[in-house]
Amino acid sequence: MRKYQQIKVVPLSSAIGAEIGNVDISKDLSSTVITEIRSALLDHLVIFFRDQDLSDPERHKMFTEYFGDLFIHPNFNLGQNNPEMVYLTRRPGDTAAAGERWHADTTMMENPPMGAILFALEVPDWGGDTLFANQYMAFENLSQGMKKLLINLKAVHNDSRVAGPAVGLNSKRATKVREDEDWTLTENSHPVIRTHPETHKKCLFINSIYVHHFEGMSVEESQGLLEFLYTESTRPEYSCRFRWKNNSVAFWDNRCVQHLAIHDNHSATRKMQRTQIIGDAVI
């Protein structure tokens, strides 16, 4: 395991996840600390910080910009003062929640976000945990025959399940998205097996929210294999579970991680704010 000089790194599981200590990410950070945080992200795929103060959106954005340019989400850009900031809120009575199915974020984009940084403004005393799954392991543990089948396949990703006037999510939850008549579909195809641009390792790159079918195949022809891959990619042994507290932060590598927000406390409020980082083309 890599040795860190400036930060403390405590793994959460053998597969994915680590808590980071000995750093205040709301302050100016040295290049050495930034390098170590990025190394921890590459080593553990998702990293967590406790007792931080990113409630000021400018502080949150400042920390994010150490790792790349800020991404503006096309479906959460509702005219707010900080278009780079997404607010994810669940209130009592919500019958749906953002991210309650396994997914990687915003993969319908030509260049999907490299990562996301989520800060807990207000969380319930119990529930509302988030699961994260290692997509390197999801690829590595496939059979050689399956790897050979998938290596040249592309999947078609679009956002028709999560935005637009036909989807009806705004009537079910406090987190709002664009459902106006001027909304337009965003769709792109990406390799099912991608190569991470920094680690150069291969990982599975599909998810059940954005993927609709394999390129060159119908939805019906694609369904069986996609369902197998969705199940395989989120096996418990590839995952970790993070219990939120107020002022906790999660920073995940969207290129090789899927995650799921558990919607299990229907009587409490949960308020989060999130930034995303512009990513590279999927190859």
Q: What positions carry a catalytic annotation?
A: 103, 105, 259, 274
For the record, the structure tokens of 246 come out as: 């107020």
In this structure, are strands 270-277 and 86-90 parallel, antiparallel, or unpaired?
antiparallel
Partnered with residue 224 across adjacent β-strands are: none
Cβ neighbour number for residue 148 with a 10 Å cutoff? 10
Q: Whose CA is closest to 130, among 34, 211, 250? A: 250
